[in-house]
Each structure stands twice: as C-alpha cells, then as structure tokens.
C-alpha cells in the first residue's frame, strides 16, 4: 500500500481518487471545496487541511487541477516544501506547455522526480478507472508511476521526456476538435442534400470519412451509439474545456512555428459557440451552431 496525496477532487479527480482508495492505497485528499472533501471521505479517502498537509508523508503526489496557474501555485507554493525527497510527483491536469516546463524544472532543481501525465477518456472513464494516460518524464519515473496510474487507467503510454505528455494531449485534442467540427459539417451537408442521417452514418462509418468523432461520439441524436447528443448535449466534455485545450494547442504551435490552420478554425468556431452561451454543453453540440438551430 502506497501513501498517496491527491489534490483536486473535481469532476475527474473525485473518481480517480476513489479508484486509488478502492485499490487499497492510502489516499490523503485535498480540495479547496468542502463538498469535494466530503465526497472523497465517503469514497474511502483520508482528508487533509491543505496541499502541503496532504503531501507531508506521501510516497506519491497526484494532482488533477483546472489549469497551469493552479498547478504552479500548488507545487511551487506548497508541495515542493512539504513533500519527502523520495516521493514521485504526478500531474494529471491538462495545462500549458510553459507551466508544465516551469514546474518540471523547479522540481528537478530540488532533486524531486516528476512526470506530466494528462488523461483522455472523460468523466465516465475517470469513474470507471479506464483512463488513457500519456506520460512525459524519464524512463525511471515512468516505471515508478505505472503501478499507481494502473489503478486509474487501462492504457499507460510513455510519450517521451518531461512535457511530452502535455504535448501529446494538446495535439490529440486539437485533432479531436477539428474532426468533430468536420463530422458535424458532414452531417449538416448530408441532411441538406436530402440524405437520411442514419443512412449517412451507416455509410460514412464504414467508409473513408470514419473517425472517433463519428463512430464513438456521434453528434446527431438517435444516430450511432448512445452519446451526449442523446441527452440534450448535457454531460460529456464541455465546450469550454475543448476551447481551453484548443487555445493551449494554438499557444504551443505559435511557440514552435507549427502550421495548424484546421486547429485554428476549430478554435474560432468553439470560441463563437462559447460566446453564444454554449460553453457548458458537450463539445459535439457545435453541430447546432453549424445547422443554425442553436438556442441558448
């Protein structure tokens, strides 16, 4: 049994911490929100009074925070000074490359081992323990992280050195954003051309237009597997979070002079949808902006 400090018990972190506790680990959890702490306690975690308190005797620290600002504040302001020198630090948040690099370098300067390990799979996979982890860090740090991540995920992939996990996550989600927009456009066009949308799905899902956005996350209600489209685009992966990830991708692309025109178009469309009040809907609801049916 390992002693694990878990910081950030939100939509994703609550299920992840619960799965660590279920696997028999000693989880000391902290979040700024008291109701999140209560949920963690009910799921078998111990609770702490601060991030530093959680980290004090930890073998591992796992963080699942909203963005780079919180990750910098929690590690640089609290955890680095409190955590035992032998602990492994695992940041699972999706954050900007600059913050990931700054925090990773600050950890290395103190002789602390750290990996960036963002996830794919969403809230359902976080609850079910079936996340995909993309991990950046040394081979040795990855090997140490593996048994802990295995309690929360089914696919653990070593993406490369420090920051490589964030790079993989940002590039993957830019691809997801762009394919979702393209999939929505194709359904709108097919409908206007008089095709039955289920028939179009049956064809495109077995033809060269097939993608995950179509066959696993179809944006049309009643077509394909059950998805957020069948629940009024509630739940799932919020448009605001997709926009956040697209902005991270655009920032990273600018820093390295990468040409990403489709990602840029997707970012503009998701920004427009957020401005029109679609931020809390699942990101596949962008189809309603494209077909003109969006009402707040």
Residue ranges that bind ligand NAD, judged by CB under 6 A: 7-13, 30-33, 36, 51, 64-66, 70, 73-74, 93-94, 119, 122-123, 237, 241
Q: Tell me which residue has its CB nearest to ligand NAD.
A: 10
Kindly report the number of other CB atoms within 10 A of residue 28's CB atom.
Answer: 23
Q: Which is nearer to ligand NAD, 74 or 107 (CB)?
A: 74
Beta strand extents in the chain (DSSP E only): 3-7, 26-30, 46-47, 60-63, 88-91, 113-116, 119-120, 131-136, 153-160
Q: Which is nearer to ligand NAD, 200 or 227 (CB)?
A: 227
Quickly list DSSP for 173-213: HHHHHHHHHHHHHHHHHHHHTT--HHHHHHHHTTSTT--HH
Report, in Å, the least distance between residue 15 CB and ligand NAD. Answer: 9
Report, in Å, the least distance between residue 153 CB and ligand NAD. Answer: 12
Which residues face 225 on adjacent strands?
none
Q: Which is nearer to ligand NAD, 130 or 205 (CB)?
A: 130
Q: Which is nearer to ligand NAD, 100 or 107 (CB)?
A: 100
Calculate the dihedral angle through the C-alpha atoms of 65, 70, 73, 74, rounding to the nearest 10 degrees. Answer: -10
Among candidate residues 154, 169, 192, 288, the one labeled active-site is 169
Question: Is 169 noted as a catalytic residue in this protein?
Answer: yes
Contact criterion met (CB below 8 Å) for 203 and 236: no
- Residue 155 dihedral angles phi and psi, to the nearest 5°: -125, 120
Active site residues: 169
């Amino acid at each position: 049994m390992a002693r694990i400090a878990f910081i950030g018990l939100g939509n994703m972190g609550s299920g992840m911490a619960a799965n660590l506790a279920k696997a028999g680990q000693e989880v000391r959890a902290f979040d700024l929100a008291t109701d999140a702490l209560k949920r963690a306690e009910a799921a078998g975690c111990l609770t702490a009074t601060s991030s530093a308190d959680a980290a004090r005797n930890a073998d591992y620290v796992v963080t699942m925070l909203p963005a780079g600002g919180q990750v910098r504040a929690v590690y640089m302001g609290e955890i680095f000074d409190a955590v035992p020198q032998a602990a492994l630090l695992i940041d699972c948040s999706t954050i900007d490359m600059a913050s990931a690099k700054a925090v990773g370098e600050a950890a290395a300067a103190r002789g602390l081992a750290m990996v960036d390990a963002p996830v794919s799979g969403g809230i359902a996979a976080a609850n079910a323990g079936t996340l995909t982890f993309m991990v950046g860090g040394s081979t040795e740090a990855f090997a140490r992280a593996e048994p802990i991540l295995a309690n929360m995920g089914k696919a653990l992939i070593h993406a490369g050195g420090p920051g490589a996990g964030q790079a993989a996550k940002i590039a993957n989600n830019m691809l997801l954003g762009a394919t979702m927009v393209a999939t929505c456009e194709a359904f709108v066009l097919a409908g206007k051309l008089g095709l039955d949308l289920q028939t179009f799905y049956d064809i495109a899902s077995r033809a060269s237009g097939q993608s995950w956005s179509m066959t696993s996350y179809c944006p049309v209600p009643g077509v394909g597997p059950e998805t957020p489209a069948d629940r009024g685009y509630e739940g799932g992966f919020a448009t605001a979070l997709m926009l956040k990830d697209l902005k991270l991708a655009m920032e990273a692309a600018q820093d390295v002079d990468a040409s990403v025109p489709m990602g840029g178009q997707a970012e503009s469309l998701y920004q427009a949808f957020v401005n029109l009040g679609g931020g809390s809907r699942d990101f596949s609801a962008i189809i309603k902006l494209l077909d003109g049916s969006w009402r707040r």
